[in-house]
Structures are given as structure tokens and as C-alpha cells.
Amino acid sequence: MSDKPDKFIDDNGLRLDGRRVDEIRPMKIDIGVLSRADGSCYLEWGKNKVLAAVYGPRTLHPRRKQIPDAALIRYRYNMASFSVEDRIRPGPSRRSVEISKVSAEAFEPVVLTKFYPNTVIDIFTEIIQADAGTRTAAINAASIALADAGIPMKGLVSACAVGKVDGQLVLDLNKDEDNFGAADLPVAMTQDGEITLIQMDGNLTQEEFKEAIEMVRAGCMEILEIQKKALYTKFGDDSSFDLTEEDLSDIQADEQLIDEDADNPANEDDEGIDEPEDIDPDEKKINEEEELDGESDEQ
């Protein structure tokens, strides 16, 4: 604890890295950096460096894990052994398994998995250099990689964290604020403000929690604009990333058709298939008589 700063916020209201309490770190996004992935993204957020890759939709094996009416979102969060000052052990840990699980769940409300039954969408995020807020940085990169892969989504997912240092709430914690702060509240939300991930370490009062949610909402909206700008630079007209009410209605109609098609027993066998309307009545009568004769011969 000897490395703990005496003060995290100076008399001018500035933090150790010169930011205001409601200011996020600079963010840089590069899209399509991996040629063999269906979608990829390299993201720098402050001193964080993250690589995200998306593969799929592709057939899920083993088949016992397949979902008959939807795709499975499989998310892997991993920190490279050299990503921190003290080398960490390679491979999965309890922390990485937990983050992978909650991050996958953060995308389930927005990814239109019903269009790809019995398949899997694999999302791999690798932390190359860590400096606090790696799970939120990975989610931001994964959201862009999904868009780059052409995976249909209701919208992008943006993530940010709020913490508490020197008795004040601060947006987008850096390493020292994360290590020595009193609280850490990472949140992911859609562009409509729906929260898809929320976790908290430490303690906040009810009023502080409400204020923190408003701060992180503003931070996520700022990150959303950075994400959309990166996609605009890569693909063109940014209006294509804003879903209108008509677009949402079309998506809901398609989902309803998929549900009705899956529930229709006529698709499972031939019992629901109607006979052609243009069949000759006399020919139909002859066929019925031949079927009756065949049944009597068997008896």
C-alpha cells in the first residue's frame, strides 16, 4: 500500500492523469485487423490494449449443446501473461471464467440469435495490455467485431465503469483508482439505455449508486458515438447503424414468423400438407376405392 497516492483528485478537481471526474480516457478503434476472423477489432482505451475476434455463425459441436431455435453466444475473455507488470499464469482462471460468462450474457439481449438455430457465435477477446477496466474495454471491442462480422443486432453494446475515490465518484477508473478506490461499478448497456451487465465491488450509498448510474450512462453514450464513428469510417454512411421504428418492427415481424414456423407441427411431418386443389374428383374417388380394396386384402 506504500504506492497509494496521497490524493486522487487535486484542488482543481483534476485526477492523477489530468482528467475531470466525468471524463473518459482517449479511445482508438481499428476494425478488420484479423483477416481470418469473420469480424475483428483492435481497441486502445487509455493504456488498455484489446484484440477482439468473432467467428460464426457456425455449426455447434458437440450437437448436444445446440439450441434448436437460436444460436449460442460463446464468449472468451483472456488476459495475456505479459499484459500486466507482474506476469500472470497463462490459461483460464476463476476471474476470466466469470467475466466470460457475464460478458456473453451482456450481448444476448441485442444479438438476433433466432436467425441462426443450432449454431454458435464465438467471440474471443484478448487483453494485450491491462490498465483497469479491461472487461468493459473487451465488451466495447467485441461489439465492434460483431458488427464487422455482419451479425444482425438490435444495436451496439457500450460499456464503462464508475468508481469512488477521495469520497467522489469518478468515471472510467485508471489503474491507481481501481486498485485503491472504495468502489468499482462496471456497466454495459444498449444504445437505448437498457443495462445488460452490472457488477459492483465495494460500497456505495443509494444516492451515490443512482448518481453513478447516470454518470456511466453518459459515459456509455459517449463511447457509443466513438464506436459509431469508427464504423462510419470503415463502412460509410453512419445512418445505417441507427435503427428506426420501422426497422425494429420488421425485425420483430421476422422473429414472430420464425417462432410461428418453429411451433407449426405441419413442418415436422406430412400430416399438415393439403392435397392439391386441382386434382380430378373422379380420380380422387378411384384412389380412395383402391386404398379400401388394399386394406380389405390385407385383412
> In this predicted model, what pLDDT tens digit does every residue of 269-286 receive, in sequence order?
444 334 444 545 555 555
The domains of the chain are located at: 27-242
Spatial distance between the Cα atoms of 129 and 81, rounded to a whole number of angstroms: 9
**Contact criterion met (CB below 8 Å) for 136 and 188:** yes
Q: Which of 75-79, 124-128, 186-190, 283-287 shows the lowest mean pLDDT across its residues?
A: 283-287
Spatial distance between the Cα atoms of 140 and 188, rounded to a whole number of angstroms: 9
- Coil/strand/helix, residue 207: helix
pLDDT band at 260 (very low <50, low <70, confident <90, very high): low
pLDDT band at 248 (very low <50, low <70, confident <90, very high): low
**Contact criterion met (CB below 8 Å) for 171 and 24:** yes
Own/partner pairs, 82-88, CB within 8 angstroms, 24+ separation: 83/127, 83/128, 83/129, 83/130, 84/130
Residue from 107, 101, 95, 91 nearest 54 by CA: 107
> In this predicted model, what pLDDT tens digit does every residue of 151-180 receive, in sequence order?
999 999 999 999 999 999 999 999 999 999
Spatial distance between the Cα atoms of 209 and 31, rounded to a whole number of angstroms: 34
In 181-205, alpha helices (H)? none
Q: What percent of the chain has pLDDT over 70?
A: 79
Is beta strand 27-31 parallel, antiparallel or unpaired with respect to 39-45? antiparallel
Is beta strand 157-165 parallel, antiparallel or unpaired with respect to 119-129? unpaired
**What is each CA distance from 151 to 95, 125, 297, in whole angstroms?**
28, 17, 59
How many CB atoms within 10 Å of residue 17? 13
CATH class label, 27-242: alpha beta
Q: Which of 19-28, 218-227, 284-293 shows the lowest mean pLDDT across its residues?
A: 284-293
Give the pLDDT confidence score for residue 236 in this predicted structure: 83
Q: Is the pTM of this model over 0.85?
A: no
State the residue for C-alpha cell 477508473. Answer: 173
- Give yes or no for residue 82 having a pLDDT over 50: yes
**Contact criterion met (CB below 8 Å) for 151 and 103:** no
> In this predicted model, what pLDDT tens digit does every residue of 179-193 receive, in sequence order?
999 999 999 999 999
Q: Is the peptide bond before 57 cis (omega within 30 degrees of 0)?
A: yes
- Give yes or no for residue 298 having a pLDDT over 80: no
194, three cell numbers? 437498457
pLDDT band at 258 (very low <50, low <70, confident <90, very high): low
Spatial distance between the Cα atoms of 265 and 148, rounded to a whole number of angstroms: 37
Give the pLDDT confidence score for residue 6 in this predicted structure: 87
Spatial distance between the Cα atoms of 19 and 107, rounded to a whole number of angstroms: 30
Spatial distance between the Cα atoms of 199 and 187, rounded to a whole number of angstroms: 7
- DSSP-derived secondary structure letter, 48: E
What average pLDDT does range 29-52 have in this prediction?
98
Give the pLDDT confidence score for residue 37 in this predicted structure: 98
H helix or E strand, kind and range, residue 236: none
Give the pLDDT confidence score for residue 283 in this predicted structure: 56
Residue from 31, 57, 54 nearest 42 by CA: 31
- Give yes or no for residue 251 having a pLDDT over 80: no
- Cα-flanking dihedrals φ and ψ of residue 127, to 5°? -85, 110
